[in-house]
A and B are shown apart, each in its own frame.
Chain A
């Protein structure tokens, strides 16, 4: 709902309101519900997100790292949250992929998934009977299932027996409803372990034996039999033929190891458990997240012990990688260690990207990011350590690039250039990019280099001259990378905004980040004059044409006219409006602020059938100026002229029904904080430069007091006194003495010094017809008069 829709609700708080009926309230509520709510996501009052830029393309990392390593490390990223939501699905996919691979990819994954995860034990038993029979066909419900047909045809009875056993285990090992405090049926689990061991021994297939071992060990672990878990591991695993089961290619050994590690942890052997979790982290991407969460080292001694258990430098490096993945790590320390141990370690590049992303959040565009205050407030960015840290990171990256021991030195050179850029050394960054440009061949790295170069070019703009503006426009219109990388538009407009501010081109600066409509609630002369100058320029740059393409010069002139009217500069306003061709004057609204109103209701007087005469803004200004002249020159009619002027001034103000004459936006909410405005400007979450309300009624009060003092007719004088009292009330609302009534839509009580004209009306004009009329219409005055 727009605020001016709300405004009339609040306007009923005025002293001539009669309160809202229940019907009206229902109608308002319904209207509130039905009207669309327009709220910019980025600028909503509850916006707590980070506002910055990133130019790193995660695709530069090898595929395997993108999907399983990177999300673990980039904790501040959506990537991380999305990843954790899909871990279960990923494990299911890994399992199905392995089943599929073991069956030579001969069956559809959906059919596999049905048999492994969905088929009922009854269906599998029927399939088993059919498989063992010489004549029975595949059961009807599975007739179209390729995996069922394969099992039936190839007589894979061991596979079926295993699947049936796994189904029997399932209820005991799946996660319980957390709200239910049901203990596991340990007796049944032990029976399953016993029968599983028998089947394990009976089974010939090495792969099925591996899977039986997994089911049995998992049962023991979930039954809380930790010693038994370790015993079963020791007993069964040596009996699995590693070559025949193709142990090395399977994910199942890592799943089994996870249960061994879990049992060890429960038995207090934290170090060995952590070592196994590190192994799982290293070798089993699907279990990487849970292994990371389970890895837990308490002391330096435990770390040393765990380190000593490692069989290779790659394993040792993995320990450091896990530690570096901590949410608030300072990973250069661990990266150095990993580099010393295993310079080609796959985690190194991911950690590099993680650390660069951190530096990006802290430093990229810091000089011109218009939301840096927001980032400081909600994220404490940039962090105090950033300066020191980026130097440490640069030193390490340089070493890696120079020594060329890493897997892809060009990635490190690219990082070196980007870090130089982030550290503000544009010259060095450009030089590094140029050198790399000569050698880099990888397509993705080339693109990343181009992106970094473009970011550098934009950040290096020094002044908003025509070449800069034309280049900026060409990016917006034609550049593929600019369109492809989401951060470029914000990066460019924020940079241009800062340049325009620096060179005092405030109007263009404003349009870089906002729409002209966002200025309308509080138009600024300097900005408007800047934009008018651009609009009238014959040789606009391409960027200027882009900025101004939706804003015709007449619209700007109309905004300036409205602004000048709000400042009471009617001559200047008319002069400005006259620059709009007369034929277009009617395009900017039809107004009539001269209606005599006694009730404060901003929407009650807008029905077109109640309006007799309408003025466009130019005609209105001419009429007001004419009245101002006549009020001074025509002594006989002066009181009437002043009264009409007073009506116009009042009705065009924030408090009047014709507020649109001098404003584009009116917030009903301002009623609750009238006394808190600064020169009539109120903060508004949607408008960056606030919302100016025309709350100054001094001109209207002056006109009504002149009308009353000059009137020879008591009726007119009484009316003028009442109108002056309305002005006094609103003026009181804007003083620091004013306190809104705490509840119930009560009319605020005025202090004596703001009741001068009420007193006049009561004491000087009690015998007028108007007095009788107003005492009926305005309960507030009626109460006052009875005192």
Chain B
């Protein structure tokens, strides 16, 4: 081919594929489901459809280390009610505790991979029936806050898991990636998966009472991301954003518990609580709160993510991603789906946040 013809071909390619950065990303909203009973209500399904959600990352089970039997065991297995799930793609997601990997003998890794593989298959079949009727996506996701000490075992587990799906399988293996694993990836390693999901939350110092908001702290996030762009990380990255709130319970200055979905309403009961600052309360009289017994003098910090903070987070991530994934599919996964979500985060506002990624 002559030089001139080559130039013409390259020019046409750029026009079509948008290599100048002109093409939008195909942003696909998705949700995590992290509870043990998956039962999508009519309202939630309408909400998901309005937002264009086609994919649900469902935590199938946790894998934890059982001291008594000295082995890895599955816990908190999901029970799936298939109502209102039609046409939603389910991504089985498995959470593995770091202590499982710390305790697991190296010789047991492939066995564990096999057990997880089989358990996912069994759970899918028992929930959805025959494989042909299963609305499974081609993706399986692993969630683990691995450390330098456990990375070798974790990566081996992922490799062993992939092998089980067989050569030529269309399985897309993904793994959650924490911010520190992005910044220090040369040290913490890069998991052997097809893509990562950057968990853009839980970034502040949860244990410290003075912390403003440990769920989303953009100053901290900027420090982690300042070193480069997403292109610097060796895996394509999807994004996970927080849609949750909790109360952080402190006793005698020490973090004791997280109380999920706690809002300011219940803490407004002045016979039991008094407000000591914005989003901070002290227990006036010992009391039960969502199944926890709080003693007089205990302190609570309310943490939540506002839509404005989500917008800022999306802007920061958009800048960090620069031209990455342009013209391609980018999953933005919200953590996590529950009954309150439609009320707290109207879909129109989430659409605006998704637009920032385009």
Contacts and interface: CB of A to CB of B under 8 A. Distances in A.
A183 B291 contact: no
A303 B291 CA distance: 10
B73 A178 contact: yes
A661 B286 CA distance: 68
A323 interface: yes
Interface residues of A, number: 25
B118 A326 contact: no
Interface string A50-81: 00000000000000000000000000000001
B253 interface: yes
B10 interface: no
B253 A384 contact: yes
Given A326-B293, A328-B251, A181 B119 contact: yes
B74 A296 contact: no
A385 B252 CA distance: 6
A383 B286 CA distance: 19
A385 B298 CA distance: 11
Nearest to A331: B295
Interface string B141-173: 000000000000000000000000000000000
B291 A297 contact: yes
B256 A299 contact: no
A578 B122 CA distance: 82
Contacts of A329: 293, 295
Contacts of B288: 297-300, 302-303
Contacts of B295: 329-330, 333
Contacts, number: 53
B74 A179 contact: yes
The number of chain B residues touching the other chain, given as a range, is: 20 to 34
Contacts of B115: 179
A329 B257 CA distance: 13
A404 interface: no
Contacts of A180: 122
Interface string B233-257: 0000000000000000001111010
Contact of A380 (B122, B123, B254): B254
A180 B73 CA distance: 11
Contact of B68 (A84, A179, A181, A297): A84
B102 to A, nearest CB: 11
Q: Which of A178, A303, A330, A384 has the most CB of B within 10 A?
A: A178
B287 interface: yes
Q: Which of B68, B288, B291 has the most CB of A within 10 A?
A: B288
B126 A298 contact: no
Interface string A263-304: 000000000000000000000000000000000111110110
A323 B293 contact: yes
A265 B51 CA distance: 37
Contacts of B252: 383-385
Interface in B14-73: 67-68, 73
B290 interface: yes
A85 interface: yes
Nearest to A179: B115
Interface in B62-115: 67-68, 73-75, 77, 115
A179 B73 CA distance: 7
A296 B73 contact: no
A296 B293 CA distance: 10
Nearest to A86: B68
Contacts of A84: 68
Interface in A317-344: 323, 326, 328-330, 333
Contacts of A179: 73-74, 115, 118-119
Contacts of B251: 328, 330, 385
Contacts of B73: 178-179
A85 B291 contact: no
A595 B104 CA distance: 52
30 contacts: A81-B67, A85-B67, A85-B68, A178-B74, A179-B115, A179-B119, A181-B77, A181-B122, A181-B126, A183-B126, A297-B288, A297-B291, A298-B288, A298-B290, A299-B289, A302-B288, A323-B293, A326-B293, A328-B251, A328-B256, A329-B295, A330-B251, A330-B295, A333-B286, A333-B295, A380-B254, A383-B253, A385-B251, A385-B252, A385-B297
Given A85-B67, A179-B119, A303-B288, 6 more contacts: A179-B74, A181-B77, A183-B126, A330-B295, A333-B296, A383-B254
Q: Which 10 A-B pairs have the closest CB atoms?
A: A181-B122, A385-B252, A298-B291, A383-B252, A179-B115, A178-B73, A330-B295, A384-B252, A299-B288, A384-B253
